[in-house]
């Protein structure tokens, strides 16, 4: 329900409509608590994921993969963006109605800033409101970083990921600054749509946190798609011209340039805290601007919690959801659940095929002192996985890092079709101490991707 009151009191105030905050708001509202949720943008009900993050980007992955070579690139892209925006609008509206329709919850659209540890001022249109609450949740998320490269911020061709997925004009030449997960995902999407894509990565190699053998397979897949990847590239300048931008970079002591119709800054995201006036509440932040929290997500003010990207933890929606469980355990539970309980949290780069990982790499496990066994196999050679051939994509590799003494699964990287689903099975096995032999000898439905574990985990070699 909308409110025109100038002053509100609440049991729980949530600043930001992200996954964690909205989940706590809904539960507390169901319990009869008076909840006020403040969101600064009417395009962000539900948070980053359904509006500008995982949902629209993964939908674009789907639509880009559906395009055939004979389909006109611009027309296909424009239709795809329209379909994706329709989905995000539906989810945004559903998120809004899901909370605002509750009798105990009030949603206010406006910019919030702390006045004191229990009071927040909200500028909602032309109206100034104050909200006082016993418990406050900060859930304002993160936003793209545009690095301080001469000409980049002022260029009319520079876009963030949020802006790029909403444009209806497919860039003929897309230059991506940053070869992390975000940059590579967008590279794969827009190359499939038909853009000429160049990725400029400052580090000596992309996917540097992975073992070299897996990273090399992923790199080959991307370059075989026609993506130009320049590693060790120091971007020096972005210059606008009449019909595009020129991105100037150094590599190996020589200067190079590449033309672009769009320049995507994909160098990370920063917590959104700048306009919250946290100092007025006595809430401390870290050097990187995140809200400082303990393992129970309490800030320097015990009645104020921070959930999701804003607290500086892993920037994943499913982690934000788990944040809500920790906070709810504090508010209405036993107060025992904490971030220390998280084990084997997977993550996926949604290139095609997806690249999913969990736990330690071989390099990390060896550095930690484990005696290792390695199970690794190219997808094309996994006899027990005909599904890869059924869907006509046998690219990739699966690799497991195992403890040679205990047969524990220390980590896995799956670069294959359905990897985003398979990795959840591996993570669950790791959490519950399932041994590699048990995962290897389990009975899996046929023909599925999971049954690849029967083969891959039988290829064990000792790495020591």
Return the active site residues. Answer: 446
Burial bucket for residue 252 (CB in 10 Å: 0-12, 13-18, 19+):
exposed
Q: How far apart are CA 13 and CA 37, in angstroms?
A: 6
Q: How far apart are CA 347 and CA 142, in angstroms?
A: 18
As given in the structure block, the two tokens for residue 154 are: 């002022």
As given in the structure block, the two tokens for residue 244 are: 């595009």
- In degrees and rounded to multiples of 5, residue 355 shows phi and psi of -115, 110
Q: How far apart are CA 385 and CA 138, in angstroms?
A: 45
Q: How far apart are CA 272 and CA 460, in angstroms?
A: 46
As given in the structure block, the two tokens for residue 384 are: 């027990």
**The dihedral of CA 435, 440, 443, 447: what is its sign?**
positive
As given in the structure block, the two tokens for residue 238 are: 């972005």
Q: Is 283 left (phi over 0), alpha (psi -120 to 50) or beta?
A: beta
Q: How far apart are CA 297 and CA 295, in angstroms?
A: 5
Q: What angle do CA 294, 298, 303 make, to 5 degrees?
A: 160
């Amino acid at each position: 329900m909308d409110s025109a009151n100038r002053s509100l009191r609440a049991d729980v105030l949530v600043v930001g409509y992200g996954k964690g905050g909205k989940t706590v708001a809904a539960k507390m509202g169901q319990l009869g608590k008076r909840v006020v949720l403040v969101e600064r943008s009417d395009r962000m009900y539900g948070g980053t994921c359904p509006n500008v993050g995982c949902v629209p980007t993964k939908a674009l992955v789907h639509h880009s993969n559906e395009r055939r070579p004979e389909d006109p690139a611009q027309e296909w892209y424009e239709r795809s963006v329209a379909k994706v925006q329709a989905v995000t609008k539906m989810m945004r509206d559903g998120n809004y109605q899901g909370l605002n329709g509750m009798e105990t919850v009030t949603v206010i659209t406006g910019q919030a800033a702390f006045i004191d540890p229990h009071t927040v001022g909200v500028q909602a249109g032309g109206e100034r409101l104050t909200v006082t609450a016993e418990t406050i949740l900060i859930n304002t998320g993160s936003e793209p970083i545009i690095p301080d490269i001469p000409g980049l911020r002022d260029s009319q061709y520079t876009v963030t990921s949020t802006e790029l997925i909403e444009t209806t004009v497919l860039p003929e030449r897309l230059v991506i600054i940053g070869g992390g997960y975000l940059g590579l995902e967008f590279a794969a999407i827009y190359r499939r749509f038909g853009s000429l894509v160049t990725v400029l990565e400052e580090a000596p190699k992309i996917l540097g946190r992975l073992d070299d053998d897996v990273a090399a397979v992923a790199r080959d897949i991307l370059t075989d798609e026609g993506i130009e990847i320049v590693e060790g590239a120091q971007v020096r300048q972005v210059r606008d011209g009449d019909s595009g931008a020129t991105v100037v970079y150094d590599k190996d002591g020589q200067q190079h340039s590449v033309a672009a119709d769009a320049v995507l800054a994909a160098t990370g995201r920063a917590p959104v805290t700048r306009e919250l006036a946290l100092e007025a509440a006595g809430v401390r932040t870290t050097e990187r601007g995140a809200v400082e929290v303990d393992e129970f997500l309490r800030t320097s003010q015990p009645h104020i919690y921070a959930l999701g990207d804003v607290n500086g933890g892993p920037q994943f929606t499913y982690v934000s959801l788990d944040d809500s469980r920790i906070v709810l355990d504090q508010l209405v539970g036993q107060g025992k659940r904490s971030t220390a309980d998280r084990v084997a949290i997977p993550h996926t780069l949604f290139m095609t095929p997806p690249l999913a990982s969990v736990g330690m790499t071989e390099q990390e496990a060896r550095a930690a002192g484990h005696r290792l066994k390695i199970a690794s196999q190219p997808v094309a050679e996994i006899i027990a996985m005909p599904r890869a051939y059924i869907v006509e994509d046998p690219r990739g590799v699966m690799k497991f890092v195992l403890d040679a003494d205990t047969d524990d699964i220390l980590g896995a990287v799956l670069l294959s079709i359905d990897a985003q689903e398979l990795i959840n099975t591996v993570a669950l096995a790791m959490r519950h101490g399932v041994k590699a032999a048990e995962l290897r000898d389990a009975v899996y439905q046929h023909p599925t991707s999971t049954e690849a574990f029967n083969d891959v985990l039988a290829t064990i070699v000792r790495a020591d």
